[in-house]
Amino acid sequence: MKYQPKGICATAIDVELDGDIIKSVKFTGGCDGNHKGICALVEGMPAAEAVRRLRGIRCGMRSTSCPDQLAVILEKLINQ
């Protein structure tokens, strides 16, 4: 699923689940190194656990962040 995040530098987040396990994540735009790190950490993790860990993380003065936006899409996928 391709998701257009709000309030961050990345312009898209692609997420693929295998059941409830995160199979792959790819960010487009933004901080490449940080995104690669986030992806490497969450791939293979249950989506609900990633949401628990990432939801509410802020970037500076912003009310959201790349990890938080990933949690938003994962929540949507879980609730489908």
**pTM as predicted:** 0.94
Task: Quick: pLDDT tens for 42-74.
Answer: 999 999 999 999 999 999 999 999 999 999 999
- d(Cα 39, Cα 23) in Å, to the nearest integer? 10
Backbone angles phi, psi at 54, to 5 degrees: -100, -25
What would the DSSP string read from start to end of 15-80?
A: EEEETTEEEEEEEESS-HHHHHHHHHHHTTSBHHHHHHHHTT---TTSS--HHHHHHHHHHHHHT-
Tokens found for residue 27: 């960010």
Cα distance between the two ends of the chain? 12
pLDDT in tens, 5-20: 999 999 999 999 999 9
